[in-house]
Structure 1
Amino acid sequence: MTVDLSAEASTARFSPRQRARISRGVQYTVLLALLVVVLVSADWSRVGETVFNLASAQELIGDLPQAFLNTLTYTLAAFVVGITLGTLLALMRLSSVGPYRWIATVYTEFFRGIPALLVVITVYYALPQAFGISLSSVAAISAISLGSVAAAYIAETMRAGIQAVPKGQVEAARSLGMSHTRTLIKVVLPQAFRTVLPPLTNELLLLTKDTSLLFAIGMTPVQYELTKIGRDALSSGAGGGLTPLFLVGACYLIITIPLGFLTRWLERRTGGTA
């Protein structure tokens, strides 16, 4: 029985670090080759006309600041409702009263299981038809619909944060004569919020993108959010191809990239706990 020692010897010539360096070099070479192929094969004149059309951008640029502000307003309105209702639901899930737990469980499972767009459409059309409540404010519609969905996710995050608070601190607060409610407000919730800050910031980021679902409801031009204004500009056929969507995407990135950096910074500050 012969053993091929040449292959083993050739492999042994390289240390694990050298093999890893060679592997990275091969991957970089392949990626660079793919990039060169894309750059050479692309029709840059068509790309410029379709994506970076200055004439189309100038027509849209005047409406973007209002749409940008509206997007932030709708996001914050939904987040305020989401974090308020989500905290209440989390406390209900942890309550010793059975009906509270059942209600909170049904709510979270229901709103986590249906599309947010369906909730937006239902709130917009069902409230006037079923209850005679007509909402002319898009911020109110966003707060009710997107806030209700966000609350289901925030409730689970807050529940985990509350359960992460050491029981010894709760017992110490109660031994000092603090009531259950005061212990909850003064001791438990502040620590829970600190623990869940990174996922809450991430939820705010997701809500920013979810405001794009509001394009499905009726709005006046002054109420347009970013996706709505980009969609209308695209469907108007005024030229410029994908330039409106490129500008709208850039506006979303202006919001979401700083939030992403904030999330990672908070994760480092809290030691990665969530």
Structure 2
Amino acid sequence: MAGNNTVGTVAGEDPPAAPPRPAAGSTGDQPPKRKMSKRQRAKVIRGVQYAILIAAVLLIIVAADWGQIQRAFFNMDVAANLFPTVITVALGNTIFYTVLGFALGLGLGLVLALMRLSSVAPYRWISGIYIEFFRGLPAMLVFLAVGVGIPYAFDTRLDRNVQIMVALGLVGAAYIAETIRAGIQAVPKGQIEAARSLGMSPTRTMITVIIPQAFRIVLPPLTNELILLTKDSSLAFFLGSTLAQQELAQFGREALNTNQSMTPVLVVGVCYLIITIPLSFVSRALEKRFGKGVARKQAKASATRSGGQ
């Protein structure tokens, strides 16, 4: 019997006690704490942001003097007195001045873009200097130079519409030129090689092949340039005007001084949005349409190359 007692216990003695369990606060038997995933942290951060935003909105709603805001910005009597002149005169003049400036800027910008890509070095230098100069100047200085500097320098006075067209066109051409240049360089070289292989001259290739394709590429950014020129037309008030020549910004300024109310500014802002928001939708639609067309052409060309290999 003694041989069976191999653990070292003596007959009549209690077996050794089990080892003590770790205390409740010990990490011995506890599973490790789960950390929040990135998605959970993002949800928490987003929830905190929403809570802060809601609290800020509620604070504004509670603290704002809505009666004073209504009298200052939403005075219906003042707004009624602005119509229909704000539409028939101010809005119409803004659109007219923008179209004049964009027409000159587009034509001059195309010439500058071709000069920038020319193999003749002086053309590239002239174009580069012009673009950098007018992109670096504030548009207000250009309006003052055209409206005040030209009459002093040449002892002549241009028609006001011509002054606005020249000022907007000079500024817009610098930006439009770079946009068109990028569009021309984005046309695949294979198009040029194909046209030249058909016997087309470089000039005919540029006019009939490259430029049409480049304009399809740059239509969305050109629409953005049109929006910028619409807002820059507000600088025409530096040239002075009669009531019939006022654009939106000057009309709103005169109405603000007359009525001592911010309502005219709000009405004029809505009129600007009537122009710019549809142009923004047109820009996005053109970008989506022509972007899909370019993608389809690239996919077709890739499939053709793959099939020929």
> Which residue is 1:89 aligned to?
112
State the Cα distance separating 1:267 from its structure 2 match.
2.2
CA distance in 1 between counterparts of 2:285 and 2:32 reads 46
Aligned residues: 267
Cα distance change on mapping 1:261 and 1:6 into 2, 3 Å: farther
- Tell which structure's C-alpha radius of gyration is larger: 2
Cα distance change on mapping 1:103 and 1:46 into 2, 3 Å: same
CA distance in 1 between counterparts of 2:205 and 2:96 reads 34
Q: For 1:227, give the aligned amino acid.
A: A
State the Cα distance separating 1:263 from its structure 2 match.
1.7
> Which residue is 2:239 aligned to?
217
Q: Which runs of 4+ in 1 moved over 6 A?
A: 2-8
CA distance in 2 between counterparts of 1:243 and 1:188 reads 49
Matched, 1:262 2:285: no
CA distance in 1 between counterparts of 2:68 and 2:270 reads 20
Cα distance change on mapping 1:30 and 1:179 into 2, 3 Å: same
Question: TM-score, normalised on structure 1?
Answer: 0.91
Matched, 1:9 2:33: yes
> Which residue is 2:145 aligned to?
122
Greater RCO, CA 8 A, separation 6+: 1
The answer to whether the 8 A contact 2:217-2:290 is kept is: yes
State the Cα distance separating 1:53 from its structure 2 match.
0.8
The answer to whether the 8 A contact 2:160-2:239 is kept is: no
CA distance in 2 between counterparts of 1:217 and 1:206 reads 19
Task: Give secondary structure in 2 for the equivalent of 1:11.
Answer: coil
Q: For 2:202, give the aligned amino acid.
A: H
Q: For 2:241, give the aligned amino acid.
A: M
Deviations 1:104-127 (A, max 9, x none): 111111101111111111111122
CA distance in 2 between counterparts of 1:247 and 1:196 reads 32
> Which residue is 2:186 aligned to?
164
CA distance in 2 between counterparts of 1:143 and 1:117 reads 14
Task: Give secondary structure in 2 for the equivalent of 1:178.
Answer: coil
Task: Tell me how large the CA RMSD over aligned residues is.
Answer: 2.2
> Which residue is 2:214 aligned to?
192
State the Cα distance separating 1:8 from its structure 2 match.
6.6
CA distance in 1 between counterparts of 2:234 and 2:57 reads 32
Q: For 2:286, give the aligned amino acid.
A: L
CA distance in 1 between counterparts of 2:288 and 2:32 reads 44
Of the three residues 249, 264, 268, the one matched with 2:269 is 249
State the Cα distance separating 1:146 from its structure 2 match.
1.0
Where do 1:20-99 residues align within 5 Å? 20-65=42-87, 66-99=89-122
Question: TM-score, normalised on structure 2?
Answer: 0.81
Identity fraction in percent: 54
State the Cα distance separating 1:47 from its structure 2 match.
0.3
Cα distance change on mapping 1:200 and 1:206 into 2, 3 Å: same
Deviations 1:95-148 (A, max 9, x none): 01111111111111110111111111111112222223322333x222101111
Q: Which runs of 5+ in 1 are unaligned?
A: none
Deviations 1:157-182 (A, max 9, x none): 11111111111110110110111111
Q: For 2:288, give the aligned amino acid.
A: R
Cα distance change on mapping 1:4 and 1:176 into 2, 3 Å: farther
CA distance in 2 between counterparts of 1:210 and 1:33 reads 38
CA distance in 1 between counterparts of 2:250 and 2:240 reads 10
State the Cα distance separating 1:4 from its structure 2 match.
12
State the Cα distance separating 1:86 from its structure 2 match.
0.4
CA distance in 2 between counterparts of 1:185 and 1:252 reads 36
CA distance in 2 between counterparts of 1:146 and 1:228 reads 17
Q: Which runs of 5+ in 2 are unaligned?
A: 1-25, 295-309
CA distance in 1 between counterparts of 2:235 and 2:50 reads 39
Deviations 1:46-72 (A, max 9, x none): 000000111211222232011101000
Q: For 1:116, give the aligned amino acid.
A: A
